[in-house]
Chain A
Amino acid sequence: MFDKEFLKRVEQERKKWEEEYRQLNPHCQKSKFTTISGQPIKDLYTPLDTQDIDYFRDLNFPGEFPYTRGIRHSMYRGRLWTMRQFSGFGTPRQTNERYKFLLKHGQTGLSVAYDLPTLMGHDSDDPWSEGEVGICGVAVDSLRDMEILFDGIDLGNITTSMTINGPAPILLAMYIATGENKGVPVGKLAGTCQTDILKEYIAQKEWIFPPVPSMRLIVDMMKFCTEQMPKYHYVSVSGYHIREAGSTAVQELAFTLADGFAYVEAGIKAGLNVDDFAPRLSFFFNSHLDFFEEIAKYRAARRIWARHMRERFKAKKQESWLMRFHTQTAGVSLTAQQPENNIVRTAYEALAAVLGGTQSLHTNSMDETWGLPTEKAVKIALRTQQIIAYETGVTNTIDPLGGSYFVEALTSKMEEEAEKYFAEIERRGGVLKCIEEGFFQKEIAQAAFEYQQALERKEKFHVGVNEFVEEDEKVDIPILKIDESVAVEQAESIKKVKQARDNDKVKRTLEELKKAAAGTENTMPRLVECVKAYATEGEIVNALKEIYGDYREPAWF
Chain B
Amino acid sequence: MDKKIRVILAKPGLDGHDRGLKVIAASMRDAGFEVIYLGLRQTPEMVVEAAIQEDADAIGLSILSGAHMTLFPRTIQLLKEKKAEHILLFGGGIIPKEDMQKLEKLGVGKLFGPGTPTTEIIEYLRQAVPGRRKEEAIF
Contacts and interface: CB of A to CB of B under 8 A. Distances in A.
Contact of A132 (B14, B18, B25, B113): B14
Contacts, number: 96
B77 interface: no
Given A205-B40, A552-B41, A456 B117 contact: yes
Nearest to B117: A456
Interface in A92-137: 116-117, 119-120, 122, 128-132, 135-136
Interface in B21-69: 21-23, 25-27, 35, 37-41, 65-69
Nearest to A132: B67
Contacts of A553: 39-40
A332 B117 CA distance: 15
Contacts of B17: 204-205, 244-245
A7 interface: no
Nearest to B38: A555
A337 interface: yes
Contacts of A479: 96
Contacts of B14: 116-117, 119-120, 122, 128-129, 132
Contact of A369 (B15, B71, B94): B94
B101 interface: no
B38 to A, nearest CB: 6
A370 B16 contact: no
A465 B115 contact: yes
A155 B127 CA distance: 58
A132 B119 CA distance: 31
Interface string B95-139: 010000000000000000111011100000000000000000000
Interface of A: 116-117, 119-120, 122, 128-132, 135-136, 204-206, 244-246, 332, 335-337, 369-371, 445, 448-449, 452, 455-456, 462, 464-466, 479, 482, 552-553, 555-557
Interface of B: 13-19, 21-23, 25-27, 35, 37-41, 65-71, 94, 96, 113-115, 117-119
The 10 closest A-B pairs by CB, nearest first: A205-B16, A131-B70, A555-B39, A131-B67, A135-B66, A557-B22, A116-B14, A465-B115, A557-B25, A336-B114
